[in-house]
Structure 1
Amino acid sequence: MSTPRDAVPGQFTLVLHSHLPWLANHGRWPVGEEWLYQSWAASYQPVFAVLRGLADDGFTDVLSLGITPVLAAQLDDPHCTSSMYEWLANWQLRAMELATDRDRERAAAGTAHFRAAGEALADFEQHWRHGASPAIRALQSSGIVELLGGPLAHPFAPLLDARVRQFSLTEGLADAHRRWGHTPTGIWAPECAFSPGMEDEYASAGVSHFMVDGPTLHGDTATGRPVGGSGVVAFGRDLTVSYRVWSPKSGYPGHAAYRDFHTYDHDSGLKLARVTGRSVAGPDKAPYDPDRADAVIDEHVDDFIATVRARLQEESARAGRPAHVVAAFDTELFGHWWHEGPVWLDRVVRRLPAAGVTVGSLATARERGFVGDPVDLPPSSWGSGKDWRVWAGPQVQHFVDLNSEVVDTALTTLDKRRDRATVRDRVNDQILRETLLTVASDWPFMVSKDTAGGYATDRAHKHAHATREIADAAARGREPSARALADGWFAPDNLFADLDARRLPGPGAYPKGGSR
């Protein structure tokens, strides 16, 4: 156990962003629902277990946890919860078969996977069988985390018509309240994307703080900064600390002793190899050894804590006041991409206070006064180049055009039907629901990063087709056909059942495509 060290000035905040696009009923393997179940078993279950353990041991306010509405919808969906249980059981069956292998080393790995699957099944039965919302409410009630919300289906907001953008945000926050009994005041803006004027929309929605990437604040992330005259505070990710864990080129998960993410055993479908070396081919990788990895975890915990201490001291000295340092990551890094991540996370959070580091959420940093002078932010994101190229560059211009066309079709149709919308209309609701799924930021990201780009393109065009087909029937006055189409598309795309198109701002609420 580490000995207490002298306290360093300021506060450290860890932010986790949990997100997957809507995958239910849109493919299973190798792309589709499998992503959800892998992330659920490898990240959401163990990370929540870490947080529950910390709460049980008296820790409070250890991080800010973002959960997007579209992910929350899947984690509560009856089809997904049932299928997840089957997935965990299938994992255990595959492990049991491997445990009977004649090769002693492979059999031992199968036994380890069998035990892990059994523990995951028991955890799922106790904490997740009725969806994620009870588990999330428990974390909120314990005070272990600050919950961050966000827009409904994770759009790249700067490129979105302001009416749809504001609807998506306000409905996303309302969806959080319905699920968790709590309305977040902080958000993780999808892709940390920002366009001037969005701060006023945040203020109107009741948002008090949000995340941007460090370069958006020109690297000066020692305090949160109110944006313009809105009073809404932007907190910037500190890249010096964040990139220590994971960056586009390096980070702890690439260590030779850790379990390799990309290499699967052909017969069992399980991950049995360690990284071994960056240039080592999959078949040549060495077997994974948990004991070898455990010692490395401690090295990386110590390195990270030393990095946080040094950064707080440096930034406090530079700013002439106690500094705030934020490290932010996708939750899926911890466990899914980096098998040892949840253990590392647990040890870091437990050891930071003994190392003299004050830990707290973004909300706590705001309350404690880690806020500087107002600033005007540029158009930005946390993607490549810290601009919009991943979502609006030449290779994804077809998505920009598609999204613009679909949004225009939807708004034109809904505005013409507005005078008759005295009661809820499932045709209007489904037009808007499919539009939101079309403009999800995931689809251009997957094409830009060459990760299942075909699947992403198919998904975007499928939802665009649904929008057009329902809208066309409605525009032609074919109400029975429009209702049948809406019901048909709702079957696979049944997220956000409370979505009500009557709450969409009217055509005069914003200038076309702009902020208020």
Structure 2
Amino acid sequence: MSIGYLALVLHAHLPFVRHPESDYVLEEEWLYEAIIETYVPLLRVFEGLKRDGVDFKITMSMTPPLVSMLRDPLLQERFDHHLAQLEELLEKEIDHNEHNGHIRYLAEYYAKEFKEVRQTWEHYDRDLVKGFKQFLDSNNLEIITCGATHGYFPLMKMYPQAVWAQIKVACEHYEENFGQPPKGIWLPECAYYEGVERMLADAGLRYFLTDGHGILYARPRPRFGTYAPIFTETGVAAFGRDHESSQQVWSSEVGYPGAPEYREFYKDLGWEADYDYIKPYIMPNGQRKNVGIKYHKITGRGLGLGDKALYDPYWAKEKAADHASNFMFNRQRQVEHLHGIMQRPPIIVSPYDAELFGHWWYEGPWFIDYLFRKSWYDQQTYQMTHLADYLRLNPTQQVCKPSQSSWGYKGFHEYWLNETNAWIYPHLHKAAERMIELGKREPADELEWRALNQAARELLLAQSSDWAFIMRTGTMVPYAIRRTRSHLMRFNKLYDDLNQGKVDSGWLEKVEEIDNIFPSINYRAYRPL
């Protein structure tokens, strides 16, 4: 009989990137890479577990931007083309390396992998959301929501209507796509501020995730730390991230993804191949890029890319099995220790970005597969659960007030508010004020109704925490700046046109086609609470 719980939580999120106005935009490939390397492999893991009688339980957020992109016909068509190009390139690679045994072996391995991706893609009629929903319906997978566009709530709290709109629009979008209201929410960046739980309760949400110190520094101090959820005074539960299990996966020093047997992320055929050979498969302007075909392993700490040895999936898979065993062993010992102290079953909540598994850590889906199988067959110390099931079985918890927190650098808000991105907030705040003003209006006709709804979309898209995050990381900064500015400029034009009583219908139609997220949005979400 188990004496504790383990809850894996995956946060599946990408910013809304869709450019019908352009034939090619590099950033759209963020979605295509995640489909190939993360979302399809996870689906295949779930299918295999279900087929083999493993009653797995896992929690996974699927954010509204990600769901919208996965179900968008334009992006589905473009992904088809992207995958077809990779399949063609691999056929060439197999022929090109006829006398290079190990590279040919790897090319054939990738060709088989991409064939399986296509089979899964076509099995679900190009709608992966339908694939994940089947596991929600079987109660193996608990899908939770997030902010409508992953807005950073603590930096919006001076405008409660703006936070409410992020929550309300997300919950309505979830119900449209999954046929039921969400039970839980991954607070964007796990960022909590005191008072947001009232809005979560009003939206019908049952629980949220925050970082560990948001629970540890709650008032009064929780008796069981992060190893039990706490209830806020509104009745909404808060789960905190477990530092120990997170470190084993995330840490650059001791984390599993740094093992020498695993695939090297930064050495890619798009940069390695002869230029004329690879040119048809890189950017239209001739610039090189990652194509997702990688032949080398990490090999060793501190080595240059030129010193990397060839990758072998067989040994990488063996290492993933070892790491799954180690993770299971450590969780068993952790649960036994905590149960002895707490005298009640602890829950270890282990949340990660979903894209870590497969995209950044290629072997990550194998790790998850092995962990579920080993946990099912090889131990009885803990029970794997998802968060909704845990609350149903454990309805009594301590009542506390969580502490303001995030899972970012230093645990608070510094990563999203610093010298690289502080300039965006006066503009976002002014736009929020204006949208709250627009929320009180009654449209004179259908054109004004559409303009008001589009203004809400533009503000939501501008508020995405991804843009501030990218500015801070220093990668793809021009794109993040351009997106922030373009959404704010479109919002301000809509605001001015509405106040002047002359909405430009032709321009509005074009913007509706480009920024088409949330087709059922109602701008009245911004009305005073």
> Normalized against structure 1, the TM-score is what?
0.92
Structure 2 residue 434 is the aligned partner of structure 1 residue 409:
yes
C-alpha change, 1:436 and 1:60, in structure 2 (3 Å) is same
Structure 1: tracts of 5 or more residues without a match: 1-6, 510-516
C-alpha change, 1:306 and 1:138, in structure 2 (3 Å) is same
Which runs of structure 2 are paired with 1:481-492 in the superposition (5 Å)? 481=504, 483-492=505-514
Which runs of structure 2 are paired with 1:77-156 in the superposition (5 Å)? 77-102=72-97, 103-129=100-126, 131-156=127-152
Query: Identity of counterpart residues, as a percentage?
Result: 26
C-alpha change, 1:97 and 1:427, in structure 2 (3 Å) is same
Which runs of structure 2 are paired with 1:304-323 in the superposition (5 Å)? 304-323=327-346
Residue equivalent to 1:20: 14
Cα deviations by residue, 1:261-281 (Å, 9 ceiling, x for unpaired): 121122254211111123222
C-alpha change, 1:492 and 1:248, in structure 2 (3 Å) is farther
CA drift of 1:29 comes to 7.0
Structure 2 residue 449 is the aligned partner of structure 1 residue 449:
no
What is the one-letter code of the residue matched to 1:339? Answer: Y
Matches of 1:29 and 1:282, distance apart in 2: 29
Matches of 1:8 and 1:78, distance apart in 2: 46
Matches of 1:433 and 1:286, distance apart in 2: 48
CA drift of 1:401 comes to 2.0
What is the one-letter code of the residue matched to 1:238? Answer: D
CA drift of 1:385 comes to 0.8
Structure 2 residue 333 is the aligned partner of structure 1 residue 334:
no
- The match for 2:250 among 241, 246, 253 is 246
Contact 2:87–2:111 at 8 Å: present in 1 too?
Answer: yes
C-alpha change, 1:195 and 1:209, in structure 2 (3 Å) is same
Matches of 2:51 and 2:105, distance apart in 1: 33
Matches of 2:238 and 2:54, distance apart in 1: 26
Contact 2:298–2:308 at 8 Å: present in 1 too?
Answer: yes
Query: What SS does the corresponding residue of 1:395 show, helix, strand or coil?
Result: coil
Matches of 2:7 and 2:308, distance apart in 1: 36
- The match for 2:422 among 377, 394, 397 is 397
Structure 2 residue 30 is the aligned partner of structure 1 residue 47:
no
CA drift of 1:496 comes to 1.0
Query: What SS does the corresponding residue of 2:96 show, helix, strand or coil?
Result: coil
Contact 1:323–1:370 at 8 Å: present in 2 too?
Answer: no
What is the one-letter code of the residue matched to 2:519? Answer: A
CA drift of 1:186 comes to 0.9
- The match for 1:182 among 153, 177, 180 is 180
Cα deviations by residue, 1:374-409 (Å, 9 ceiling, x for unpaired): 111121111111101111233321122221122223
What is the one-letter code of the residue matched to 1:272? Answer: Y
- The match for 2:263 among 256, 259, 262 is 259
CA drift of 1:223 comes to 0.4
Which runs of structure 2 are paired with 1:411-430 in the superposition (5 Å)? 411-415=436-440, 417-418=441-442, 420=444, 425-430=449-454
Structure 2 residue 516 is the aligned partner of structure 1 residue 494:
yes
Matches of 2:50 and 2:448, distance apart in 1: 42
Contact 1:152–1:169 at 8 Å: present in 2 too?
Answer: yes
What is the one-letter code of the residue matched to 2:11? Answer: H
Query: What SS does the corresponding residue of 1:287 show, helix, strand or coil?
Result: coil
Contact 2:184–2:206 at 8 Å: present in 1 too?
Answer: yes
Contact 1:28–1:34 at 8 Å: present in 2 too?
Answer: no
Cα deviations by residue, 1:218-255 (Å, 9 ceiling, x for unpaired): 2821100012x111000011010111112355411111
Query: What SS does the corresponding residue of 1:348 show, helix, strand or coil?
Result: helix
Query: What SS does the corresponding residue of 2:474 show, helix, strand or coil?
Result: coil
Matches of 2:338 and 2:516, distance apart in 1: 47
- The match for 1:218 among 202, 207, 216 is 216
Matches of 2:477 and 2:294, distance apart in 1: 24
Matches of 1:31 and 1:315, distance apart in 2: 47
What is the one-letter code of the residue matched to 1:330? Answer: D
Two-structure CA RMSD over aligned residues (Å) = 2.0
Cα deviations by residue, 1:252-310 (Å, 9 ceiling, x for unpaired): 11111101112112225421111112322223211111122122112101110011112
Matches of 2:24 and 2:395, distance apart in 1: 46
CA drift of 1:414 comes to 4.1
Residue equivalent to 1:470: 494
Cα deviations by residue, 1:133-178 (Å, 9 ceiling, x for unpaired): 3213211122211111122111111222211211221221111111
Query: What SS does the corresponding residue of 2:420 show, helix, strand or coil?
Result: helix
How many pairs does the alignment contain? 496
C-alpha change, 1:428 and 1:215, in structure 2 (3 Å) is same
Matches of 2:499 and 2:209, distance apart in 1: 40
Cα deviations by residue, 1:312-350 (Å, 9 ceiling, x for unpaired): 122222323211111111111111111111111011011
CA drift of 1:420 comes to 4.1
What is the one-letter code of the residue matched to 1:383? Answer: G
Contact 2:148–2:170 at 8 Å: present in 1 too?
Answer: yes
Query: What SS does the corresponding residue of 1:64 show, helix, strand or coil?
Result: strand
Matches of 1:248 and 1:175, distance apart in 2: 36
Contact 1:257–1:292 at 8 Å: present in 2 too?
Answer: yes
What is the one-letter code of the residue matched to 2:525? Answer: L
What is the one-letter code of the residue matched to 1:52? Answer: E
Residue equivalent to 2:388: 363
Residue equivalent to 1:512: none
